[in-house]
Structure 1
Amino acid sequence: MTEPATEHWEFTDHWPAVGCGQDAVAELRRRIAGGRAENWLRSSHGRQLAVVSNGVRAMVMLLAAPGDPGEHAVDPGAGGWSDGYLLANGQQDEYPDQDTVPLGRALHLVRHLLDTGTPPPDVPWSIDS
């Protein structure tokens, strides 16, 4: 029996492959601090991961394959809305805070997902349809 191939991730804008979750988080921090709010990673297994941040909170979406409605990390009980999520096409989005997570938690989630292949068990997810 052969083991499944290790999943590798890279930023979709042709950035070199990410060595580990820590490398991806460092690059995401750099990009977000530089004003790049929307970032996508793709895996060698066809999955896609989006991180869209306003600098305080982030929408983190995981798609199993292109065209999949995906799922996103949630913050149950968070009230209110946040704006300032600038998409690459120039569109400014706002999301309910319950559909986003604090930026530090989002980066923890990305690191765990890239290092283990699964989201951390302490972060709830909502399946999109």
Structure 2
Amino acid sequence: MESWTLTDGAAPVAADTVTEVLRSRITAGKLDAWLESASGRSLAVVSNTERAMVMLLEHPGDPGGHSADPGADGWSDGFELSNGQSDEYPDADTVPLDEAFRIVRHVLATGRPPADAAWVVDR
């Protein structure tokens, strides 16, 4: 099993505590989180407090893949990055926050998104 840490923190983050860690960050106004595995993979979660984009990258420069909600219509904004950038995404490319947490927990526990989660490979 891979170990994961927040890139702006030092302590490992486990599957059973990652939801609490991410909720705490969002409450504090930190709407993006990057986790890095011991093997060099990256997992990003960017939220607007209601929806989130979850991205999994195999190595630096990899376009990776991201969570999806194929039946969703419209766009959402307010996806704030720590560098001040504010993004907007089609709702089909983001998922409700609870689904994002489920996906992140599964990735941390198994190394891959859940089989029943909609996922877009960007490679």
TM-score (ref. length: structure 2):
0.96
After TM superposition, give the deviation of residue 28 of structure 1 in Å.
0.4
RMSD: 0.9
Q: Distance in 2 between matches of 1:84 and 1:104?
A: 17
Distance 1:52 1:71 in 2: 14
> Which amino acid letter does the alignment assign opposite residue 78 of structure 2?
G
Alignment of 1:11-90 (within 5 A): 11-18=6-13, 20-90=14-84
Partner-residue secondary structure (3-state), 2:17: helix
Q: Kindly state the Cα deviation for residue 15 of structure 1 after the two structures are TM-superposed.
A: 3.0
Shift of 1:25: 1.4
Q: CA deviation at 1:128?
A: 1.4
- The SS at the match of 2:23 is helix
Return the alpha-carbon distance in structure 2 between the equivalents of residues 14 and 36 of structure 1: 13
Unmatched runs of 5 consecutive residues or more in structure 2 = none
Distance 2:78 2:58 in 1: 27
Letter of the 2:6 partner, please give it.
Answer: F
TM-score, normalization by structure 1: 0.92
Matching of residues 92-111 of structure 1 within 5 Å: 92-111=86-105
Partners of 2:94 and 2:57 in 1: CA distance: 16
The percent identity for this pair of structures is 56
- Output one character per residue of 1:57-90: Cα deviation in whole Å (capped at 9) or x when no partner: 0000000011101100100010000001011110
One-letter amino acid matched to 1:39: A
Query: What SS does the corresponding residue of 2:92 show, helix, strand or coil?
Result: helix
Corresponding residue to 1:115 among 105, 109, 114: 109
In structure 1, how many angstroms separate the alpha carbons of the residues matched to 2:97 and 2:37? 22
* Correspondence 1:7 to 2:23: no
Larger radius of gyration: 1
